[in-house]
Amino acid sequence: MKKMVLSFDTEQDFPPFFNTKRGFENGIYNILSILKKNDVLGSFFITAGFAREFEDRINEIAKGKHEIGVHGFRHERFDRLSEKKAEEVIKRAKDALESFSKNIVSFRAPNFRFPRRYYKILEKNDFLIDSSVKGNGTEKIGNIVTIKATLTSIHFRLPKLIQNLFFRLENFESPIVLVFHNWEFVKMPKHYRIDGWFRTGRYMQRFLDNFIKEMKAKNCEFVRLCDLIN
């Protein structure tokens, strides 16, 4: 039985191109509704600088027993920050999110850009898991378990033929970590970059609902990232 993680990068809309927060306003509720309907738990990597503004949404995530992880404070690119600044941002973000969940052990850097030398910052701040590396499988870096992000949601917004040809989940080993974004579950306005709006909103809502059902029928077990080390 393969284990699968549904993870959701919870951030402002299509950063850095939009300044709107429709993904916080409505996207989170749309995701939670689908997860509840299908009785599965997810891992939410939250951009902590917006947590107080959307307290009720973050509380709903925690109340639903979903995992809360750190996704920076304002969606900073950690590969552009000094070590001192990176540590300041990570600590500040974790402190902000610990008012919603006391068991924050997972981290994912925005844009999957996290210098390897900064793993000591995660250790120092009591993280156990990083998911900032694309790929499949796991790797141990110091005391941090890197659980690689297998596929991002743009793959599932491509035509079905392309998905079947190049991204068959049967070809990946367990655990399979899928990455979605809160803003994809609301209809985004057309933008000069097609990946910011193509097949967002109802398409993604239907896709996730049907996908979970399909994977359950194949005896896939949905888990949170933190469950993989417990």
Q: Tens digit of pLDDT for each residue in 212-224?
A: 999 999 999 999 9
Q: How many other CB atoms are found less than 10 A from the CB of residue 20? A: 14
Q: Are strands 176-181 and 151-152 parallel, antiparallel or unpaired?
A: parallel
Which pLDDT score, from 0 to 100, does residue 162 have?
Answer: 76
Average pLDDT, the chain: 94
Higher pLDDT, 135 or 163: 135
Higher pLDDT, 33 or 161: 33
Q: Any residues with CB less than 8 A from the CB of 40 and at least 6 apart, and which?
A: 6, 212, 222
The structural domains of the chain, with segments of one domain joined by +, span 3-228
Q: What is the mean pLDDT of residues 90-109?
A: 97
With 70 as the cut, is the pLDDT of residue 230 above it? no
Q: Distance (Å, rounded) from C-alpha 36 to C-alpha 227? A: 18
With 80 as the cut, is the pLDDT of residue 116 above it? yes
pTM value is 0.96
Q: What is the mean pLDDT of residues 30-36?
A: 98
The CATH code for residues 3-228 is 3.20.20.370
Taken in order 218, 219, 222, 225, the sign of the CA dihedral is negative
Each residue's pLDDT tens digit, 46-71: 999 999 999 999 999 999 999 999 99
With 90 as the cut, is the pLDDT of residue 75 above it? yes
